A = this chain, B = another copy of it.
């Protein structure tokens, strides 16, 4: 009986906040597949049904987990020193987005979950507000900034969804699959060969994600700046 009260005393009472932070930790550690209501409850030393007193259902848990992660994005990006926004809006926004990207590396499940959210999550709204503020300070009209937000899409949050993910485990079965189609896809074969030749280190990992992310980001930022200057 004393052991029981000790266990109860040793853990703070359940709360929405505690549930959501536990959800993020669980997904970080064991992957999004391990984030089930039963696992989450166990993590908190509680029965699964207790969770429903603090969150409506599992969708709300996922919404909340995204909320926690994007709040971290805001904190880190605000703390990262960047050029003053009105001086060079592209550099300011670039710095903010790349700062966000470093945070997402710690929550690899988050991009996929963010893309499945239909609802408006407060911290995500605040993040886009901060992006929009930089664009406005840089002299973009609301109309152009609006187009810009759509054009950036998830890139404004620091990530893109890779369509050809690098083979997870051991060997590159993907390259074999490509080789099987060789006759049908001559340009792809030539491109892979040439890219591999340019940078031998990149042969295994397909592509340098960070460099590609920055290339695409700069393409969009430059295009927006060009349209601002022309307006």
Cα–Cα distance between A101 and B98 once the two chains are bound (Å): 30
Q: Which residues of B contact A184 (CB under 8 A)?
A: 126, 129
A119 to B167: give the CA distance in the assembly, Å: 8
Q: Across the interface, which residues of B come within 8 angstroms of A164, CB to CB?
A: 120
Q: Tell me whether A105 is interfacial, beta carbon within 8 Å.
A: no
Q: Does A49 contact B (CB under 8 A)?
A: no
**Those of A184-226 within 8 Å (CB) of chain B:** 184-188, 190-191, 194-195, 198, 207, 212, 215-216, 219-220, 222-224
From B122, B154, B220, A181 is in contact (CB under 8 Å) with B122
The verdict on A38 contacting chain B, using a C-beta distance below 8 Å, is no
Minimum CB distance partner of A180 in chain B? B122
User: Which residue from B142, B153, B223 sits with its C-beta under 8 Å from A161?
Assistant: B153
The residue from B124, B147, B222 contacting A215, defined by CB atoms under 8 A apart: B147
Q: Does A145 interact with chain B (Cβ within 8 Å)?
A: yes
Q: Which residues of B contact A120 (CB under 8 A)?
A: 164, 174, 177-178
Decide if A112 is an interface residue (CB 8 Å cutoff). yes
B147 near A153 with CB under 8 A, answer no
Q: When chains A and B are docked, how far (Å) is the Cα of A177 from the Cα of B184? A: 50
- Beyond contacts A120-B164, A147-B216, A154-B163: 20 other A-B pairs, Cβ-Cβ < 8 A, are A112-B116, A115-B161, A115-B163, A118-B165, A120-B174, A125-B181, A125-B188, A126-B181, A129-B186, A136-B187, A142-B191, A142-B194, A142-B195, A146-B207, A147-B215, A150-B216, A153-B160, A157-B163, A161-B161, A219-B224
* Contacts from A to B (Cβ < 8 Å): 112, 114-116, 118-120, 122, 124-126, 128-129, 132-133, 136, 142-143, 145-147, 150-151, 153-154, 157, 160-165, 168, 174, 177-178, 181, 184-188, 190-191, 194-195, 198, 207, 212, 215-216, 219-220, 222-224, 227
